[in-house]
Homo-oligomer: A and B are copies of this chain.
C-alpha cells in the first residue's frame, strides 16, 4: 500500500426533495450567486424555479449563466469569469451534470486569478485561492460533485485539472431529478462511473484488500443496477444506487493506497474533443481496447478483475483465458446498456488516429500500469475500430 493523503470535505445532502435545502446551504457561503446551468432542461422540469424560489427566500442575489454543453468549453468559462467579476459574485451554484460542475469549477478557479484560466489546465499554474462553489446534481456520471477534478475543452484539447481547492462546499443529490434522463445519458453515466473505479482498480500495487473490496462492491452494484435503471427509469432505489455510486467512485477514496492508471480516460478525451462524442460512450469503446492491449503485457490485474467482478470462473489450467471470456462479458454488458463498443458504431474511422495519439502523448507517455507511447496509443485506437 502506498502513502496517501485523503481529503473529501464536500457535504453531501442525498435523498428525496433534497434540492429544497439549497437556499440554506448557499446562505452559509454567499450573498451574490452565479447560477450556472446547461441548455435549459432544468427550466422544463421546474427545478430552475424551485431553486430560484429557494434563493430568493434567503435574500440571495442571482446572476445567471446557462448554456453549458457536453465537453464544456473554455469560452463560456471565460464569459462566466467576467460575469462574476462584474457582479461581485461570491459563490457559484452549478445545477446540472458533470459538464456544468466542471465549467463552474473552472470559473471559480479563474475569478481570483489575473491571467487566463487555461494556464491551470495546460501550463501547470497552481491557484492560491478559488471562489467557493456548490452543486445540485442532475446527471450521475462524472463524479465532479465530490471530486477535485475539472475537465475543459479548448479547441482540439480536452484536458483535466485537479486541485483540492476546487472541491465543492456541498452537493445536493436527489435521485428523482435523474428520472428524466434519456437512456443514452443514463447508460453513458453508468459506464463513466464504472470507468472511474476501473482506472483505480488496475494496479500492480498489492495489499489493497479493503479498497479492492470497495471497488468490487461498486462494480457489482452497477452490473446489477445498470440494466435495471434503463428498464425502470422511475425506480427511486435503482436511481439512488447509481447516483451514490457515481459520487463515491470519483471522490478519491477508492484509489487510496493504490497507484492509479487513467490511460483509458486520456485516450478517450481527444475523441470527445475532435468528434464531440459522449464521454461515457467513448469509454465503453476505449476501455475494452485498452484492456486487450495492456493485458497481453500484464495479465494478472485483469485475471483478478474478471474473476471477481464479472464472476468468470478461475481457470487453473489456463488463467489467462479468463481475460478473453471476461472481455466478451464486459462488451456484452455495455451493449445491453445500449452503448457502442467499437469506433465504427459512432462512424469514426482510422483517418485521424495518428493525430489523436499525438494529442494523448503530447507531454509524454500515458498511463501507469503500462506506459503507453504514441505508437501504443495508436494500436489501442486500432483495437477499438
Which residues of A does B touch, CB under 8 Å? Answer: 1-9, 11-16, 18, 206-207, 209-214, 216-218, 220-221, 224-225, 236-238, 240-241, 244-245, 248, 253, 256-257
Contact = CB atoms under 8 A, between A and B. Distances in A.
A262 to B, nearest CB: 21
B9 A9 contact: yes
A18 B6 contact: no
Nearest to A247: B6
Given A207-B241, A240-B207, A14 B6 contact: yes
Contact of A248 (B18, B210, B221, B225): B210
A212 B217 contact: yes
> Number of copies of this chain in the oligomer?
2
A254 to B, nearest CB: 9
A227 B368 CA distance: 33
Given A206-B237, A214-B214, A12 B2 contact: no
Contact of A240 (B1, B7, B11, B221): B1
Contacts of A209: 217, 220-221, 224-225, 241
B225 A221 contact: no
25 contacts: A1-B236, A1-B237, A1-B241, A3-B16, A5-B14, A6-B12, A6-B14, A8-B9, A9-B9, A14-B257, A207-B238, A209-B217, A209-B220, A209-B241, A210-B218, A210-B221, A213-B213, A213-B214, A214-B214, A214-B217, A216-B217, A217-B217, A240-B257, A248-B253, A253-B253
